[in-house]
Amino acid sequence: MTRYSAWSVFKNGLQGQRNWRRAWRDPEPKREYDTVIIGAGLHGLATAYYLAKNHAARNIAVLEKGWLGGGNAGRNTTIVRSNYMMPGNRGFYEHSLRLWENLSHELNYNVMFSQRAHITLLHTPAARDAAARRYNTMLLTGSDAELWSLKKLKRKIPHLNYDSARFPIIGAAVQRRAGNARHDAAAWGYARAADQLGVDIIQNCEVTGFAREANRVTAVDTSRGRIQARRFGLAVAGSTSQLWAAAELGKLPVETHLLQAFVTEPLKPLLDHVVVFGVGGAHFYISQSDKGGMVFGGDLDWYKSYSQRGNLPAVADAAECATSILPCLARVRLLRHWGGLMDMSMDGSPFICKTPLENLYLNAGWNYGGFKASPASGWYFADLIANARAHPAVENFDLGRFARGVNIDERGAGPDPKLHG
């Protein structure tokens, strides 16, 4: 496989760009593998890559019902951050951010990670106190964190609505190492790197059922035939509940909701940061892409659905938030919007764990955190599959935590547990 470099770009330019090789193969599925990962989004591809790289695993397949990266990998707002506080989440997301910082070099593929800072606007003294607690925890656990005064925030981003906002801005909580990456580049980078290590990426291969013997899965039935394996991993985001039901595993503490994201027509450079606010029932985040479009999103549509089509009230709510915090966007045209399927756990934190079947493993419940978590998710899920036990860093990301009273309530915007069974 060609290694990308300045020299390879120069050389192929002289040769009329005729000698580039495919970034990854398009193999026919084999009848049997050692490990099958279901879902070729970022989590599934990262898992396959780290299985091969960290654990020297071979004979791995990743099955995808559509095209590579065609699900939530390409339907998000690309924010990367680690400003989490709860035990478990704190170390996990910091590990993920550190992996992002070297990912382009690791994969020999530019994932366009831009550390432009994640800025959470503060509107009340109570919000400032809560942010101080969270960001001090980050500092004490090896991360970076700052609180900006209103004066400093105005100097950094002068065009926010400081004068007539419904909720006056009094400052900001900032993580400078956070930022954005390119979602499709990350998927392609992991796919290419996994393929180089021998992983078969099988597209247009929908899993339709599971073959079981006693307490084990022996094979999966797919649209391209039956595929046997010794171990199976589920990494299918909003489709988790459907495959869980297909495996006849009973009740899963996950709800599937729709989350819309939006992009405007291209603008000249306007916002060199990720800006977030959530107050008075509003929830909003915005940044500017490398193509100039303003990329933003907000709340879920809140009804349960497997559809990837949103509703107009959510569009209106997000647009109102955009113009309330950045009035200069009032006459900008919305170019497109899309919907992703969110697998929402009861406490807003994920699952990386065994299932009731001894050779089936689960990666799910990412709520709003799926994109930023991709590298660490793949890292720890690969470790789980390779060693058949959870790494201490994710030992509470299991299905039994609610029964044990371990509620990792980071406010990842999942449904509140309350009296859920």
Q: Which pLDDT value is given to residue 417?
A: 56
Distance, in Å, from the CA atom of 245 to the CA atom of 227, rounded to the nearest integer, reads 19
Range of the domain at 333: 114-178+256-345
CATH of residue 295's domain is 3.30.9.10
pLDDT at 28 over 60: yes
pLDDT digits (tens, 9 = 90+) for 111-170: 999 999 999 999 999 999 999 999 999 999 999 999 999 999 999 999 999 998 888 999
pLDDT digits (tens, 9 = 90+) for 257-279: 999 999 999 999 999 999 999 87
Per the structure, the count of domains in the chain is: 1
pLDDT digits (tens, 9 = 90+) for 210-231: 999 999 999 999 999 999 999 9
pLDDT at 421 over 80: no
**Does a structural domain hold residue 373?**
no
**Does a structural domain hold residue 277?**
yes
The first and second tokens of residue 48, run together, are 């396959």
**Does a structural domain hold residue 136?**
yes
- Label residue 414 by pLDDT band (50, 70, 90): low
Average pLDDT value for residue range 86-103 = 96
**Does a structural domain hold residue 57?**
no
**Does a structural domain hold residue 281?**
yes
Q: Which pLDDT value is given to residue 418?
A: 57
pLDDT at 391 over 70: yes
Give the pairing of strands 32-38 and 225-234: parallel
pLDDT digits (tens, 9 = 90+) for 270-312: 999 999 998 766 789 999 999 999 999 998 888 888 888 878 8
pLDDT at 89 over 70: yes
**Does a structural domain hold residue 200?**
no
- Label residue 419 by pLDDT band (50, 70, 90): low
pLDDT digits (tens, 9 = 90+) for 227-261: 999 999 999 999 999 999 999 998 898 999 999 99
pLDDT at 174 over 90: yes
Q: Which pLDDT value is given to residue 189?
A: 97
Are 296 and 284 in contact, with CB atoms under 8 Å apart? yes
**Does a structural domain hold residue 413?**
no
**Does a structural domain hold residue 262?**
yes
